């Protein structure tokens, strides 16, 4: 192990030590409050451009496996924990978390006071940071951070979206009841698994696909995926979404929810430190239920900027009263900010996929 520094753009720094991967990496540092799910976090495309800090002090106790990945690679820029577990135990594990990080060439740091770091981020907000095992000079690190692009105004979708259209799990969808077109802005595998399980043949399209390309398969519904970065920067998706309104049912999650809000005439804003974790309570006004949700976002839809005669909020975050879900009063459009496919409850929010199925059932008939 080698000495490492985490240097924040406001000049605060934390010392620790790296695993075998050394060098430098930079991005927006955020904290995640989940106790487990680290493999899903690492492979979630929504974390592209970010350094993730885990607030739970011991990470890696159950290792990693090949089934729980959410994409084809690790997307985080860096990984910070208090302590890595050296002896994992799980019958499904194929390797340790440490080995997994090293195999994917991720600069990971332990020994940092993650409680102090998290408190600092809560007080002053998510910010740019750099991890280095080579340079410990504050002036040098400060200059390097200035060159790191801000998350605001950044289009990270181009970095993570697929380049060519594909059909998810062709064999399992041969007798599917519904055909769903999914716009890939950084889609998670479990979303595709759930839609397939519910009887959907899912055609995944690159984010820059045109309305005509998507409609050429005659889909029963449109899904707009999660993804990283600033939703307002993904103008090509926002402009394209408007063409689908009133044509087919639409369901959006996370970044997809934000882009739908923008396409409906609203605005988004950056949260102070975002929502990243698996323990966020959300109230659903449709059936007056409260669910524990998994979340990963740094931006939020501003309800006051939407036309309330056309759009209503149906999900509310009980921690900070921010918008967690909207639906159109006339068109079959529904979207949520949280991740119902992650299901920390474990089934608290998966019913939302069935809402989408019901919309397609209604409009197909």
SS3 content of the chain, % helix, strand, coil (to 5): 25, 35, 40
The token duo for 242 is 């408007």
d(CA 51, CA 72): 19
User: Using alpha carbons only, what angle is made at residue 51 by residues 88 and 184, rounded to the nearest 5 degrees?
Assistant: 95
Neighbours of 174 (CB within 10 A): 8
Of 264, 278, 247, 10, nearest to 124 by C-alpha is 10
Whether the upstream peptide bond of residue 346 has omega within 30° of 0, thus cis, is: yes
Catalytic, out of 254, 280, 328, 338: 254
CB 110 within 8 A of CB 131: no
H or E element at residue 178? strand 178-184
> How far is the C-alpha of 103 from the C-alpha of 258, rounded, in Å?
34
Quick check: is 85 catalytic?
Answer: no
Q: Which of 75, 200, 341, 355 is catalytic?
A: 341
- In this structure, how many other beta carbons lie within 10 angstroms of the beta carbon of residue 99? 16
Catalytic residue among 120, 276, 339, 355: 339
**Catalytic residue set:** 254, 339, 341
């Amino acid at each position: 192990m080698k000495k490492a520094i985490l240097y924040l753009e406001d000049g605060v720094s934390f010392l620790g030590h790296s695993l075998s991967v050394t060098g430098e990496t930079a991005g927006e540092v955020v904290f995640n409050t989940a106790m487990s799910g680290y493999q899903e976090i690492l492979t979630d495309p929504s974390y592209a451009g970010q350094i993730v800090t885990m607030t739970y002090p011991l990470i890696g106790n159950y290792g990693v496996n090949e089934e729980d990945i959410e994409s084809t690679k690790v997307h985080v820029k860096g990984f910070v924990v208090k302590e890595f577990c050296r002896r994992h135990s799980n019958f499904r594990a194929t390797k340790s978390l440490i080995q997994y990080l090293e195999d994917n060439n991720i600069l990971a740091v332990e020994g940092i006071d993650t409680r102090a770091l998290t408190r600092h981020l809560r007080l002053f907000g998510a910010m740019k940071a750099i991890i280095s095992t080579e340079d410990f000079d504050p002036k040098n690190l400060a200059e390097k951070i200035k060159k790191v692009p801000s998350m605001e105004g950044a289009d990270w979708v181009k970095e993570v979206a697929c380049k060519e259209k594909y059909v998810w799990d062709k064999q399992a969808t041969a007798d599917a009841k519904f055909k769903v077109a999914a716009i890939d802005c950084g889609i998670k595998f479990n979303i595709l698994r759930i839609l397939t399980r519910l009887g959907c043949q899912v055609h995944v399209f690159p984010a820059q696909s045109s309305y005509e390309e998507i409609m050429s398969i005659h889909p029963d519904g449109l899904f707009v995926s999660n993804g990283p970065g600033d939703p307002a920067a993904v103008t090509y998706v926002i402009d394209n979404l408007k063409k689908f309104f009133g044509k087919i049912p639409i369901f959006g999650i996370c970044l997809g929810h934000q882009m739908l809000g923008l396409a409906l005439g609203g605005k988004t804003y950056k949260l102070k430190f975002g929502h990243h974790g698996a323990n966020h309570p959300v109230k659903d006004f449709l059936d007056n239920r409260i669910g524990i949700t998994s979340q990963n976002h740094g931006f939020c839809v501003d309800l006051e900027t939407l036309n309330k005669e056309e759009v209503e909020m149906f999900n509310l975050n009980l921690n900070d009263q921010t918008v967690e879900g909207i639906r159109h009063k006339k068109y079959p459009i529904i979207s949520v900010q949280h991740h119902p496919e992650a299901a920390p409850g474990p089934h608290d929010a998966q019913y939302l996929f069935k809402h989408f199925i019901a919309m397609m059932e209604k409009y197909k008939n």
